[in-house]
Amino acid sequence: MSSLRVRFAPSPTGYLHIGGARTALFNWLLARKEQGTFILRIEDTDVARSTQESVDAILQAMEWLGLDYDEGPLYQSQRFDLYRSKVDQLVGEGKAYRCYCTVEELEQKREAALKAGGKPKYDGTCRERRDQPTGLPFVVRFRTPQDGETVFNDRIKGTISFRNDELDDVIIQRTDGTPTYNFVVVIDDADMGITLVIRGDDHLNNTPRQILMYQALGCPVPEFAHVPMILGADKARLSKRHGATSVMAYREMGYLPEAMVNYLVRLGWSHGDQEIFGLRELVEKFSLENVGRSAGVFNPDKLLWLNAHYIKAGDPQRLAALVTEFLLVRGIDPATGPDLVAVVRTLQERSRTLLEMAEAAAFYYASEISYELEAATKFLTADREAPLAALVEKLEKHATLDESAVEAAINEVLAETGLKLGKLGPAIRVALTGGTVSPGIFEMVAVLGPQESSRRLRRALRHLR
């Protein structure tokens, strides 16, 4: 084990979205590469908005992506006593103070500052206040130094500096006694020994305030690495209007976790021109030095392309297990028809998602085929009757047939009737599936089996007569 300790700290106020999942992945990859420690912390101090349902959704998404953690999940809501003691410590040392300004007074100060052309920061009215009125509501503010700069070296963005006099005396405890995000994240990261904070660059402006709090508490300051945001195709921040942003929504649409992981890592990180990465390879090659400084653009088509690649290259046994739930939702029990693994093999080349695969597999398990009107009119015609009947006769002689035997039987019919496969093939396809789009005829007949194929061909013969 190395000394590296990183964390992923989502708020359970909704699902795990694409941006959060990428942050978790970057932390996980670096921890695994350097044999460090990856911690999952649930930041649920927002009691009003945090739900167990959201916690469960986050844990399910982490499990689906394969991002196991070494410590956790740890919950901030179970650590309020620690936060209160640290607030009291800072107040006692003069590094934080009580502020009795009302909401109305603060709004007036804000408006006055804006009119004067200044920043709407707190003016420090209570900063040097000595009296401690009883019975009045108050917040606790951190006493930010008014001179100098806070400078840090970001592992992705380089050296960044902030003037301290531009920073606010940020609130660290609300009037109801609950601590605020900027404060508890410092306490937790210090208490958990976090050595590197990898997070989205929407947190960049929080960093100088947090560094000053580490220093005020006498705690080591971790390194920081701020990852650029993920944007939609219109270069606006990724949101629901760009499509699904929930990781688990993609699972429900039939995406594979390895495709999602591969896609997420490439949203801001690169290794030459390589696009396809296995998880073990990612652990070997990942580094913060190759994370770009510009925002990543979410491209659903690229994700779909990757998913199709992983389905095509996937283990049919595993894919069959995964596609089962998509079939059951459609009211199809794969135990009632041909071997699902064999079915999957016929569909891997043409399926981009498990949902597409389930839809394409439905005909294999149908008790009655519904013909597409245009296809049946065009291909189930009188001149196809004799060759289809001949094929039925040949198939019914066998209990099972492999693809080569099916091909041989069909070729015999073609030789006997003088037809080309281009003429007979569509009729067979419509008879077996109801339409003109399906896996290859030879493999399809082999999977359905000669008896079921014959039954469907006989029904098609009745139809065309």
Q: How buried is 105 (Cβ within 10 angstroms: 0-12 exposed, 13-18 middle, 19+ buried)?
A: exposed
| 444 residue type, one letter | M
Q: What is the dihedral of CA 361, 366, 369, 370, to 10 degrees?
A: -80
Contacts of 280 (CB under 8 A, 6+ apart): none
The tokens describing 68, both together, are: 């196991």
CB atoms within 10 A of CB 85: 10
The tokens describing 59, both together, are: 């844990």
240 is catalytic: yes
| 313 residue type, one letter | A
User: CA–CA separation, 188 vs 38, rounded Å?
Assistant: 14
Contacts of 287 (CB under 8 A, 6+ apart): 30, 33
283 dihedral zone (left: phi>0; alpha: psi -120 to 50; beta): alpha
E-strand stretches of 132-210: 139-142, 149-154, 158-163, 171-173, 196-200
User: CA–CA separation, 440 vs 1, rounded Å?
Assistant: 52
Q: State in Å, rounded, how far the first CA of the chain is from the last one.
A: 75
Residue 97's DSSP bridge partners are 141
Contacts of 117 (CB under 8 A, 6+ apart): none
Lookup result for tokens 């999942």: 21
Catalytic residue among 86, 95, 115, 240: 240
Distances (CA, A) of 129 to 98, 105, 125, 146, 177: 8, 16, 8, 17, 20
Instruction: Please give the DSSP secondary-structure letter assigned to residue 464.
Output: H
User: Per this entry, what is the length of the chain?
Assistant: 465
Q: How buried is 277 (Cβ within 10 angstroms: 0-12 exposed, 13-18 middle, 19+ buried)?
A: buried
User: CA–CA separation, 27 vs 69, rounded Å?
Assistant: 10
Catalytic residues, by residue number, are: 240
